Structure 1
Amino acid sequence: MLARLLNHLFEHDAPARAELTRFQGRAIRLTFPVLQATLQVGADGVWLASEAEPEATLTLSTAFFITLLVDRVAAQKRLQMSGDAELAAGIGRVLGQVRWDAAEELSQLIGDVAAQRLVWLAGIVGGIPGAIASRMLVHLVEYWRDEAPLLANRPAVDRYCSEVDTLRDDVARLAQRLALLEQKTV
């Protein structure tokens, strides 16, 4: 099922499919929150279900998709890769570049104009939660840092580190004094 879904996405994205051919014959395990499968890349960039031992595993958790709504760069850090890092990173990069043309898919069902309007409306409505979540996160961080100090701000962290360094030096000097006093009393 995952192979069919990915092949459908790659069907209209020739550059992504061409880049995928670099990984021809290699097997990777893709794990999504509700789907997982071991797949192999075919000769023409087609995904094939595979029973082969995967060379790498690429896991896209629920946290990845939630973070993706707010920040694409931060979402990349939530990708979990194991095995052949080059293969997992390459497949991950190709998957990240694939674009689904929702308007094209919908136009086959409801016509071009209606599909364009529906996609435009979904973009507006879909962008609202991401924008709200982003602003809310910024406000929460500021609140926790400034009003209810759950998070430390940079000057406080620097001051704390400086005090720890001073304390460490003081303890080292005290240890030296104690060692000298012990030598004098012996």
Structure 2
Amino acid sequence: MATQSPFSWAAQALPQMAVHFQPPAWVVDETLNRLVLFLNHVLMSEPEACQRLARQKGQRIEIVWQAMKLQLQPTAAGLLERAAFEGFDLRLTATQDSPLDIVAALARGDKPKVRIEGDVQLAAEINWLIDHVRWDAEEDLARLVGDAPAHTLAQFARKAMEALRSFVAQRAPGTSVGAAV
């Protein structure tokens, strides 16, 4: 005789809560500030990316997901700054509502699905950045703990990411598993 788990209600409620969860405005604002700082940190490690972004100085980029909106403008230094503006030159709207679907796509090595509106040239530059700029977490970690421990931790993280990709691939049959980080 099969018995039902006492936590089966949680398995059913969790996806619904994830879709409808709204954090406080100050949490969203601070998270977006940290995200921009992180993006600029990654961009600074890639001179070509900064040059390409500097050519787009003053363009208005809007990234939208559900009720959240992040407005960015490239600076003369080739970095990004948060801005507040009306209209846009480029709007990227995430079409997946569930954060779990977005995380699953990223874990597979796929790009989240987005709707693109606006300047085609700016969209091509942003796509180039997404395709070519990568965060070298191992290098940043090596500055803190040294090369050998950073290499060991990075290997562990790569194996954990591969295990996550494998798990996601098993949960969603018919999807391909992305390349290792």
TM bucket, shorter chain: 0.5 to 0.7
Specify every segment of 5 or more residues in structure 1 that has no aligned partner in the other structure, as ranges. 141-186
Query: Which structure 2 segments of 5+ residues have no match?
Result: 1-32, 176-181
TM-score, normalised on structure 2?
Answer: 0.63
Say which SS state the counterpart of residue 167 (structure 2) adopts.
helix
Contact 2:57 2:74 in 1 (8 A): yes
Aligned residues: 137
Q: Distance in 2 between matches of 1:3 and 1:18?
A: 18
Q: Structure 1 residues 19-28 or 119-128, which shifts more?
A: 19-28
Describe how 1:1-186 pairs up with structure 2 within 5 A: 1=33, 2-31=35-64, 36-53=69-86, 54-60=88-94, 62=99, 63-72=101-110, 75=111, 78-138=113-173
Contact 1:28–1:88 (CA under 8 A) maintained in structure 2: no
Cα deviation for residue 16 of structure 1 reads: 1.8
TM-score after normalising by structure 1: 0.62
Q: 1:51 and 1:8, CA in 2 relative to 1: closer, same or farther beyond 3 A?
A: same
Distance 1:31 1:98, change over 3 A: farther
Shift of 1:100: 0.3
Is the 1:64–1:79 Cα contact (8 Å) retained in structure 2?
A: no
Q: Relative to total residues, which structure has the larger helix share, 1 or 2? A: 1
Distance in 2, matches of 1:52 and 1:139, equals: 42
RMSD (Å), alpha carbons: 2.7
Larger radius of gyration: 1
Measure the CA separation in 2 of the matches of 1:17 and 1:136.
39
On the 8 A contact 1:17/1:45 being kept in 2, the answer is yes
Distance 1:113 1:67 in 2: 31
- Matched AA of 2:106: L
- The 1-side partners of 2:82 and 2:93 are apart by 17
Q: Matched residues, percent identical?
A: 26
Are residues 64 and 82 of structure 1, via their aligned partners in 2, closer, same or farther at CA, if it must alter by over 3 Å?
Answer: farther
Structure having greater relative contact order (Cα 8 Å, sep ≥ 6): 2
SS state at 2:154 partner:
helix
Q: CA deviation at 1:71?
A: 4.2
Q: What is the DSSP-based 3-state SS (H/G/I as helix, E as strand, rest coil) of the residue aligned with 2:164?
A: helix
